[in-house]
Amino acid sequence: MSMEDYDFLFKIVLIGNAGVGKTCLVRRFTQGLFPPGQGATIGVDFMIKTVEINGEKVKLQIWDTAGQERFRSITQSYYRSANALILTYDITCEESFRCLPEWLREIEQYASNKVITVLVGNKIDLAERREVSQQRAEEFSEAQDMYYLETSAKESDNVEKLFLDLACRLISEARQNTLVNNVASPLPGEGKSISYLTCCNFN
């Protein structure tokens, strides 16, 4: 695929506490696998995946940031040009949920005010260890005007839905011309193309 061979290019950045499963979500979506013994992300990593939505090629540049505090100054610099942020916590880890207001302050400070933020509660395959109820998370996301979705990178639950619904949402925002106008230039490393025909199903 040549560099121009897409209709939309969006930059999506995953943020959230260390160990909540950001890398696993990205790997599941871009490579279809759940990596065993995933080490902590150092700084920032990225992958590209091109998807087809209603006949249009959408290139998603997905940036996976380190959750550890010591990388915060590096990861913050990636917020500004993000079209969307996936703020992730772990439903089995109360602490990762309690840190969300802190992450929202980071977003307010460093991201564009046009950014679309999705709240993701990951690891729903560990239902017996759940510490944060769905209702509590929904109330929080509603109050903050964010979409909310629960996922399992391990079982592949809602992972495609997360990225594809987000892509649909970004297309519709782009059409209304309300997007940040500084999507990063294309980078090598295409993922596989997949088709997705239904759209925008967050609610």
Shortest approach of ligand GTP to residue 36 CB, angstroms?
7
By CB under 6 A, name the one of 80, 130, 154, 161 that touches ligand GTP. Answer: 154
Element containing residue 104 per DSSP (H, E): helix 100-110
Question: How many angstroms separate the CA atoms of 84 and 58, rounded?
Answer: 14
Q: Please list every residue from 3 through 22 that binds ligand GTP, using CB under 6 A.
A: 18-22
Q: Please list every residue from 55 through 74 that binds ligand GTP, using CB under 6 A.
A: 66-68
Q: Please list every residue from 26 through 45 that binds ligand GTP, using CB under 6 A.
A: 38, 40-41
Question: How many angstroms separate the CA atoms of 159 and 181, rounded?
Answer: 27
Half-sphere exposure of 128 (CA within 13 A, CB side): 0
By CB under 6 A, name the one of 7, 52, 106, 125 that touches ligand GTP. Answer: 125
Backbone angles phi, psi at 41, to 5 degrees: -70, 135
By CB under 6 A, name the one of 9, 12, 13, 23 that touches ligand GTP. Answer: 23
By CB under 6 A, name the one of 9, 12, 13, 24 that touches ligand GTP. Answer: 24
β-bridge mates for residue 87, sequence order: 15, 119
Question: CA torsion, points 176, 188, 192, 89, in degrees to nearest 10?
Answer: -70
Select 154 or 161, whichever has its Cβ closest to ligand GTP: 154
Shortest approach of ligand GTP to residue 197 CB, angstroms?
26
Judged by CB under 6 A, the stretch of 54-62, 148-156, 179-187, 188-196 that binds ligand GTP is: 148-156
Shortest approach of ligand GTP to residue 56 CB, angstroms?
30
The angle subtended at Cα 59 by Cα 36 and Cα 120, nearest 5°, is 50
Closest CA to 21 of 121, 95, 165, 105: 121
Shortest approach of ligand GTP to residue 191 CB, angstroms?
17
Helix residue ranges per DSSP H, 133-191:
134-143, 159-175
Q: Establish if 130 lies at the interface with ligand GTP (CB under 6 A).
A: no
Residues in contact with ligand GTP by the rule CB under 6 A? 18-24, 38, 40-41, 66-68, 122-123, 125-126, 152-154
